[in-house]
Structure 1
Amino acid sequence: MRLRFATYNMLDLTLSANSVQEADRQRRVVETIRAIDPDVIAVQEVKCAPGRVDRLVAELGERTGLTSVVRQVDGRDVHAVAVGDNTVHVALLWRDGLIPLPASFRAFSPAVHHHGGWRGVGYGSLVRVAFQMGGRPLMFASYHAPAFGRHRRIDQAEVALAAVTGPNAAVLVGSDFNSVGAARVGGESYDRDPYTGQPWWPDLVHQCREVTHPGTSHRADRRPAEVWEAGGLHDVAAAVRAPWVATTGHWPSCPYSVRGIRRRIDMIHATRTVLQAVRGVAVVDNEVSRAASDHLPVVAEVDLRALPMAQGAVAGR
């Protein structure tokens, strides 16, 4: 039995566009998700006021043939969403027939809403939920790492790690990781450094380790990814030695794109329990997906029959 898990940053998806051009772009986002036909998908950049996020994710589910509803022990229905701190949020959606384990659902949000305004920048939210699959609980999460603040990104990587992992846990996390990966294949970095050798420009202050004396020696800050690799969440594409494919760098107005910088910052991570069951990872790179968002989706295929049997509590704190 195969499971298809995807992650997708949808570029400020509102489903209520203010122009024909934007409405057409958002239609392509929905078309891309439907073409992926995921069993479970982690999405980022659901854009709306916090009070509307449940309705917006429910509408996305209707348009893609998926659901995000978790029936709680007390009978309440909640949506698998986590509010972000820049009016963009994360969610998990899944196909009909999958039944979430109610106790597994949890949202982690740094959002601060004050007098109708927002404080803070950089998103940084995570939602998780598990399903009984392959004879054991399998946890899924959607994570959007902070866009700004190198040290904040490292700290939140630790928090996110603690939120989903545990002894012998089976976990898949889809994310806009907002930094370069740290996985190594054959002694070499799976992701080349996209910044070293590039002319310095101000945006690199939140992407590089050396910022006090900009020059040709600046290098990507891989520390958030190092936290996950050391803590037991591993980059699936690197682990299965999939061909390296950028997930950003194709969008015409992106400041990285105009400088010719192509990065792979959309990732699927998994615990070792799941890695042995992964049968492939691919970036959805086609005409429609390139016109839909500044990020390309990533899809992993998992053979549920290869998951080791396990009993016990669901992972995460």
Structure 2
Amino acid sequence: MATVTVASWNLLDYKMPRYRDTDGEKRNRRIAEVIRGLGADVVLVQELVSPGSGTALLHGLAKDTGMDCYAELPWISEDDAFAGTVAAADARTGYHTGALWKPGFASVPGTFATFGAEIGLWHSTATITLTSEETGPFVVMPFHLDPFDPSRRMTEAQQLVRIAARHEKLPVIGGGDNNCEAANEITDPDPYRGRPWFPKMIHQVIVTTYSPEGVPLEWEADRRPARILAAGGLVDVAAHRHTGPGPLPPTAGHHPDDPFPHRRIDRILANPAAATRVIDCRTHPSDEAKELSDHIPVSVTIDLSPSRS
């Protein structure tokens, strides 16, 4: 069996340390240690924070973790044999996404593509096809949905479905910060039900009843983007495999800077060609990960033996 473990983690403002910023350097080293500890073959990251490009940040993270991040470009001549670009997807917000993979995996030349503001994304996403001697080719897709605008998140979900559909004949595994509740109310009960209203909730819920004065009286978690993803064939793998009892563990809500309740907004998605091959799903709530970020890493392990293609 040729398995591949894909992890996803929002790194919470991962930045290039300033000159003599020993605290920043130490934090980045600790993040790299957590990533190495996941043991994943591929890691999809969010919040590479830079006003320009996330390229240097992802390159530095790859170096610190001992992973690769170079996507090979199409060959035009033998001179292009070592041509490549860093697999970071730049966002106009300065909060970029990217992909890392272990040595032994290689990108298929010419398959790296990025998407951002030009298709209405608040942050960014990318797709890249990876392969190895043991596995068949598969596509990974880091993404980060809008934290503020529920309507935009629905549009972004439609775009993720469209992008993934371009690779429907291959296994596609997407991972990211969904910034909204999951589609399944059984595995993910509404974390906002019964809680007192506060203004930032407007980014995360649908208000169903207002008072005559315009004060929110009743509301529910916004699951519409997640349901678009599910209807479009991108399966929430953890929910799909969950047999209970009880809800799935949260991935956010533990950090002092997060005003929202405990909830599972970090999810790994798979198209039908990948979802049937999943053999394990995990959340990685180490003390170190919870201290470093307001998100907890998640991972899936998939059987990508060529004989199953």
Shift of 1:21: 4.5
Letter aligned with residue 25 of structure 1: R
Q: Secondary structure at the match of 1:290?
A: helix
1:252 aligned to which of 252, 256, 261: 256
Q: Number of aligned pairs?
A: 292
Give the stretch that moved more between structures: 62-71 or 211-220: 211-220
Match of 1:117 in 2: none
Assess if the C-alpha contact under 8 Å between 1:199 and 1:216 holds in 2.
Answer: no
Letter aligned with residue 298 of structure 1: V
Q: Secondary structure at the match of 2:183?
A: coil
Match of 1:285 in 2: 285
Match of 1:106 in 2: 113
Is 2:90 aligned against 1:66?
A: no
Q: 1:65 to 1:158 in 2, by over 3 A?
A: same
After superposition, the C-alpha distances for 1:189-223 in whole angstroms (9 at most, x for unaligned) are 32111111111111111111117725452001101
Match of 1:302 in 2: 302
CA distance in 2, matches of 1:91, 1:231: 23
After superposition, the C-alpha distances for 1:95-126 in whole angstroms (9 at most, x for unaligned) are 112111123210001179xxxxxxx9x84210
Shift of 1:39: 0.9
Give the unaligned 5+ runs of structure 2: none
Match of 2:40 in 1: 38
After superposition, the C-alpha distances for 1:116-157 in whole angstroms (9 at most, x for unaligned) are xxxx9x842101101236664311000000111111110011
Match of 2:241 in 1: 240
CA distance in 1, matches of 2:11, 2:298: 12
Match of 1:202 in 2: 199
Match of 2:96 in 1: 89
CA distance in 1, matches of 2:61, 2:217: 44
Structure 1 segment 20-31 matched on structure 2, within 5 A = 20-31=22-33
CA distance in 1, matches of 2:48, 2:8: 13
Q: 1:157 to 1:307 in 2, by over 3 A?
A: farther
Match of 1:312 in 2: none
Is 2:188 aligned against 1:191?
A: yes
Q: 1:233 to 1:307 in 2, by over 3 A?
A: farther
What CA RMSD, in Å, does the superposition of the two structures yield over aligned residues?
2.3
CA distance in 1, matches of 2:162, 2:118: 19
Match of 1:49 in 2: 51
Structure 1 segment 145-224 matched on structure 2, within 5 A = 145-166=145-166, 167-183=168-184, 188-210=185-207, 213=210, 214-224=215-225
Q: Secondary structure at the match of 1:102?
A: coil
Q: Secondary structure at the match of 1:84?
A: coil
Match of 1:9 in 2: 10
Is 2:60 aligned against 1:78?
A: no
CA distance in 2, matches of 1:20, 1:255: 29
Assess if the C-alpha contact under 8 Å between 2:136 and 2:305 holds in 1.
Answer: no
Identity %: 29
Q: Secondary structure at the match of 2:13?
A: strand
CA distance in 2, matches of 1:102, 1:212: 53
CA distance in 2, matches of 1:303, 1:41: 17
Shift of 1:306: 8.1
